[in-house]
Amino acid sequence: MQQQMMSPLVTQITPDARMSAAVHGDRAKCLQRLIRLDMPVPVTVALSFDAVRDAALGNLPDMAALMAPFGPQPLLSVRPSSENADWGGPSAILNVGMNDARFAHMALAMGEAAAARLYLRFVQSYAVHVARLDPDEFHLPDQADATSLGMMLAAYEAETDEPFPQDPAVQLAEVLRSMARAWDGTSARLLRQAKGAPADAGLGLVVQAMALGLGQGECGTGIVQFVDSTTGAPRITGRYVAQNLPQMDKTDAEGALYLTRDPRGASLQDRCPETFAQLLECGALCRQHLREEMQVKFTIDAGKLFILDAVRVQRSSRASVRIAVALAEDGVITRQDAVLRVEPVALSELLHRQVDPNAPRDVLVRGIAASPGAASGRIVLTANEAQASAARGEPCVLVRRETTPEDIRGMHAASAVLTMRGGITSHAAVIGRGLGVPCVVGASDLLIDRKSGRVMAPDGRSFAAGDMITVDGTTGQVLAGAPPMLEASLDGAFQTLLEWADMFRDIGVRANADTPADAQTARNFAAEGIGLCRTEHMFFEGDRLGVMREMIFAESSDDRRAVLDRLLPMQRADFAELFSIMEGRSVCVRLFDPPLHEFLPSDKPGMRDLAEQLALPLPEVTERVAALSEYNPMLGMRGVRLGIAIPEIYDMQAQAIFEAMVAVGAKGIAPAVDIMIPLVSAMREVELMKSRIERVATKVAGPARATLNYRLGVMVETPRAALRAQDIAVHAAFLSFGTNDLTQMTYGLSRDDAGRFMSTYVQQGVYAEDPFHTLDIEGVGELVAMGAERGRRCRPDVVLSICGEHGGSRSAIAFCRDHKFDYVSCSPFRVPGARLMAAQLALTDQIIKP
Ligand code: PEP
Ligand code: MG
C-alpha cells in the first residue's frame, strides 16, 4: 500500500489508513471521513504531530515518498490540522509547486494573467510566511502578468540573495518547516492556550493536490453551508466564484454567482444543477455521518466537483442551541449529545442583550463583570433620578459609589448599574443578577464628583449626568456612548434543550427570588422552587421603609408590635403572591437578616426627613441612628441575633407566612414552605427560634383548622454553624449553605470591600480566583463538606443545599453533586445555565463511570 511506503509519520489519507484526530489532527481525520463517504476529495497526505515536531527541528520526512502520490508535476496546498479546529494554526499556503517552468506551461493553457496570479500568490505567501520577509515589500500587484511576476521574483532575490526556489520538493520542505515552527511561536501558543489547548498540543499538516477551478468548461471555487450561522435555521449560504481568479484589486465580485436560484442574478443552482445537487448531497452526508453542520469548501474543475475541506460551521450562541436541538430531533445525534454540545455560557448570552461583537468599543473603565448583559443609558447618580428617568421613559445607568438596600427601587428603574466599590457578592451585584440588570461593580478607577454631578474616567474624560454610557456586565467594561446591541432571543430550541437537560440532571435547581417578579422569572426558567427569598428586600417597597423606621425607633416591645402589626398585612400579601406564583413548589423564606441601621438614613437631609416623619427632634434622631451604628455591622446585630434580641420581627414574619399559607391553601394551592433562620452559630439559637415559630404556627393553624406544611431549617453561613452542624441539625429539617457569608467569614475577607485588592491578589496568584465568584473548594468547601457530613450524621434525611451566589457555577454544582446535595439555588437568570451544567455533569459522569 502507498502509505506503507512512507514513514509511519506521513500517511496518505485513504478510507482505511490509520488516522486519528489525536495523532493527525481534526482536519486530517475529517478529510478521511469525507473520503470514506466517497466524496471527491483530491489526493491528500497527512503529517502526524510527531512528523511536524520533527520538521520544526529540521528533520523533514522523506520528501520523495511524501510527494509520490501527487504525480510528476504537483501543485499543492498545505493546511494546518490541530487536534481541535478552534485551536487555530498557521495560515494555509497554496500553489506550492509553482515555478518558472510551470508558469510558462500554464500561461499557454490558461492565459498569462491566470498563471501569473497563481504564481504571484505563492511567491507572496512564501516570501512572507516561509522566508519571513517584510510583507510591505510583497503586495499583490493590481495587474498580474509576466512583468509584475518578474518584479516580485526579483524582489525576493534581492531580499534573500537567492533566487526563488524552483524545486517543488524544496519548496514543500521549506513550507512544512516554517508552518511547524510557526506553531511553536509564543503568540500562537498563547492564543491556543487561551482557547483551552494543553501546553503540549500538537499540530498536524495536510498536503493536498490543488483542484484549481480554473480553465475550460465550468470552473470555480466556493464554500457552502446549510444553516445560518446567526440563527441556526436551515439556509444555504456561502459563495461561489467562477474561474478561481479572485481579483487582486479591491473587488472580487467579478465571476461571483449566487449559490441558490436568485432573482438578482445568475446562480450555481441554475448554471450547474447537477453539481449543485451533488453539493447538497455532500452537505446532507456530512450532517448525517459527521453528525455536525459543516461548511464545505469546494472547487469545480471542468464541470467536475471536488471537495477540498469541511470545517464545523461557525455559530452564534443562538445558532449553537438550535443546531444541537435540530440534529437531535432529526435523530443524527442523541439528546444527551445535544445537551453536552451547548456551552452554558451560550445560554447566558441568549438571556441578555449583548454589545454587538463587531461594534467598536470605546472603553472608559473596567470593573468586575457582576451581572451579564449590556445596556446603554444616560448617567444618573441617585436612585431617585433613576426612577424619574424611568418615568420619562428614558433608559438610564445608575452610577453609585456602592449601592445599599435604599437603592433597590432605583436599580429596578435603571437599565444598568455601575459601582465603584464592591465585589461579586456585593449588594449591587446580587441585586443586579436577581433583577437581570446588567451590572459592573468595583470600577475603582472611576471617580464620582457628587457636587458637580460628574463622573471622571481614568483617561481624564469627564461625563456629566445625562451623558450616554454603556455597561457591559458580561465583560466588565464600561463604554462611552451607545454601541449597537444584539437582542436577547429565547426560542423553542432553548426550551427544548433545557427540557432535555432536566431529564438527565440529578440535582435540583432552585432560584433565589425575593419579589413576585423574581418568582415569575424563576418559573419562566423552570426553577423547581425558590431556594432563598431574602425577605428584607420587601421592606424597602413603597411606604414600608417609613414603617420600618418607626419600628426601629419604637421604645417598647408593645410599641414595636403595634408598628409591626401595620407591616403584617403587607408581608402576608407578599408571601401569598409568592406562594401563588410558585403553585405548590417549595419556597424557602429566610427570616429578616440585615443589621437595622441599613434602614436608616446616613445623611443630614435623610435624618431631617426622618425627624419630621417621626415628629422627633433632629438631635434625638441623629443620636439614635449613631447608637445603632456598629463597628462591624456584618458581624453584629443581624440575622438570628435580631430574632433573639427583638423577637417581634420574626414573630410577625412567621405569622405572615402561616396566614399566607392558609389564604393560598383556601384557593386550592398547597404551599410548601421552608422557613430559614440566618446567621446561626449556636444550637440554642435554633432551639429558641423553633419554639417561638411553632407557637405562632399553632396560633394560626388552630382557628383556621389548617395543617401547615412547613419545615424549619438553618442557613449555615458561619464557620461555627458548619462545625457544629451535628447539634444544629437536631432542630433543623434542612441546612442551606450561605456561601457568601461563609466565604467572607472563612477568609476573614469583607465581601463588600474585597474588590479593592482582589484583582491584585488574583494576578499575583495569592488566590487562584476570586473566592466570592468561584467556590473555594479547598477551604470553604471543606467546611461545607464537614457541615453536610456532620448534619447528616445527626439527621440522615436532612435536606442539603447551597444558596450563596456560587450556586449557579459549574464547580459548585459539581461539588454539590459529589456530596449528594439535594439542590443548588442561584439568581433566576442563572437557572437555565445551572440546569444545563447539572445535566452535563451527570452525563459526563455516566460516560466516565457507565
Ligand atoms: C449568603 O450569605 O451566602 C447568602 C446567600 O445570604 P446573603 O447574600 O443575603 O448574605
Ligand atoms: Mg448571608
Q: State which amino acid sits at residue 831.
A: V
> Residues enclosing ligand 1, CB less than 6 A?
430, 532, 534, 593, 717, 738-741, 803-804
Binding site for Mg(2+): what residues are annotated?
717, 741
Q: How confident is the model at residue 334 (pLDDT cuts 50, 70, 90)?
A: very high
Cα separation, 535 vs 638, in Å, equals: 13
Q: Which of 408, 514, 534, 536 maximizes ligand 1 atoms within 8 Å of its Cβ, making it the mutation to test the pocket?
A: 534
- Tell me what the mean pLDDT of segment 191-206 comes to: 89
CATH 3.30.470.20 fits 220-315, yes or no: yes
| Ligand 1 atom nearest residue 744's Cα | 2
Burial-class residue 489 by CB neighbours within 10 Å (0-12, 13-18, 19+): middle
How far is the centre of ligand 2, averaged over its atoms, from the C-alpha of 679 (Å)? 7
Q: Among all residues, which ones are annotated catalytic?
A: 427, 803
Kindly provide the b/e burial profile for residues 670-688, where b requires at least 16 CB atoms within 10 angstroms of the residue's own CB: ebbbbbbbbbbbebebbeb
Chain centroid to Cα 210, Å, comes to: 40
- Model confidence, pTM: 0.84
| Ligand 1 atom nearest residue 425's Cα | 8
* Cβ atoms within 10 Å, residue 646: 19
Strand order in the sheet with 439-441: 363-366, 477-480, 468-472, 374-380, 396-400, 416-419, 439-441, 368-371
Q: How confident is the model at residue 245 (pLDDT cuts 50, 70, 90)?
A: low
The ligand minimizing its distance to the Cα of 429 is 1
How far is the centre of ligand 2, averaged over its atoms, from the C-alpha of 556 (Å)? 28
**Contact yes or no for 735/761 (Cβ under 8 A):** no
Average pLDDT value over all residues in the chain: 92
**E-assigned strands of 688-771?**
710-716, 734-737
What would the pLDDT profile of 584-609 be if each residue is shown by its tens digit? 999 999 999 999 988 888 888 889 98
How far is the centre of ligand 1, averaged over its atoms, from the C-alpha of 497 (Å)? 30
Q: Which of 404, 408, 424, 425 maximizes ligand 1 atoms within 8 Å of its Cβ, making it the mutation to test the pocket?
A: 425
CATH 3.30.1490.20 fits 2-209, yes or no: yes
Q: How confident is the model at residue 485 (pLDDT cuts 50, 70, 90)?
A: confident
What would the pLDDT profile of 633-682 be if each residue is shown by its tens digit? 889 999 999 999 999 999 999 999 999 999 999 999 999 999 999 999 99
Cα separation, 322 vs 419, in Å, equals: 36
Kindly state the cell numbers that stand for 725. 452542624
- Tell me what the mean pLDDT of segment 74-101 comes to: 94
Kindly state the cell numbers that stand for 548. 420600618
The ligand minimizing its distance to the Cα of 775 is 1
| Ligand 1 atom nearest residue 678's Cα | 6
pLDDT higher than 70, residue 762:
yes
- Tell me what the mean pLDDT of segment 49-77 comes to: 94
Binding site for substrate: what residues are annotated?
534, 590, 717, 738-741
pLDDT higher than 90, residue 223:
yes
pLDDT higher than 90, residue 834:
yes
Kindly state the cell numbers that stand for 547. 414603617
| Mutual angle of helices 168-184 and 186-194, in 10-degree steps | 60
- Tell me what the mean pLDDT of segment 204-230 comes to: 89
Cα separation, 119 vs 795, in Å, equals: 79
Cα separation, 166 vs 68, in Å, equals: 18
The ligand minimizing its distance to the Cα of 772 is 1
What would the pLDDT profile of 564-573 be if each residue is shown by its tens digit? 999 999 999 9
pLDDT higher than 70, residue 249:
no
pLDDT higher than 60, residue 2:
no
- Closest C-alpha residue for ligand 1 atom 5: 804
Strands 447-449 and 454-456, by their bridges, are antiparallel
State what percent of residues in the chain have pLDDT above 90.
69
| Ligand 1 atom nearest residue 740's Cα | 3
| Ligand 1 atom nearest residue 430's Cα | 8
What would the pLDDT profile of 525-535 be if each residue is shown by its tens digit? 999 999 999 99
**Contact yes or no for 642/688 (Cβ under 8 A):** no
pLDDT higher than 80, residue 199:
yes
Choose the most confident range, by mean pLDDT, from 61-65, 242-246, 263-267: 61-65
Kindly state the cell numbers that stand for 315. 455559530
Q: Which of 538, 717, 743, 745 maximizes ligand 1 atoms within 8 Å of its Cβ, making it the mutation to test the pocket?
A: 717
How far is the centre of ligand 2, averaged over its atoms, from the C-alpha of 738 (Å)? 5
What's the first-to-final CA gap in the chain, in angstroms?
39
Higher-pLDDT residue of 358, 477? 477
**Contact yes or no for 103/145 (Cβ under 8 A):** no
The ligand minimizing its distance to the Cα of 824 is 1
138-140-146 Cα angle (round to 5) = 100
How far is the centre of ligand 2, averaged over its atoms, from the C-alpha of 659 (Å)? 26
Q: Report the pLDDT value the prediction gives residue 85, as an integer from 0 to 100.
A: 86
- Closest C-alpha residue for ligand 1 atom 10: 741
DSSP string for residues in 251-304: ---TTEEBSS-BTTB-BHHHH-HHHHHHHHHHHHHIIIII-S-EEEEEEEETTE
How far is the centre of ligand 1, averaged over its atoms, from the C-alpha of 352 (Å)? 24
CATH of domain 505-595+630-848: 3.20.20.60
- Closest C-alpha residue for ligand 1 atom 6: 738
Q: Which CATH architecture has domain 356-486?
A: 3-Layer(bba) Sandwich (3.50)
Q: Which of 532, 588, 598 maximizes ligand 1 atoms within 8 Å of its Cβ, making it the mutation to test the pocket?
A: 532
pLDDT higher than 60, residue 1:
no
- Closest C-alpha residue for ligand 1 atom 8: 740
What would the pLDDT profile of 339-361 be if each residue is shown by its tens digit? 999 999 888 878 888 898 888 99
Torsion, Cα of 662, 535, 834, 830 (10° steps) = 120
pLDDT higher than 90, residue 96:
yes
Give, in order, the Cα–Cα distances in Å from 372 to each of 341, 509, 754, 770: 22, 20, 20, 17
**Contact yes or no for 148/121 (Cβ under 8 A):** no
- Tell me what the mean pLDDT of segment 409-414 comes to: 88
How far is the centre of ligand 1, averaged over its atoms, from the C-alpha of 340 (Å)? 31
Show me where the domains of the chain are located: 2-209, 220-315, 356-486, 505-595+630-848
How far is the centre of ligand 1, averaged over its atoms, from the C-alpha of 430 (Å)? 9
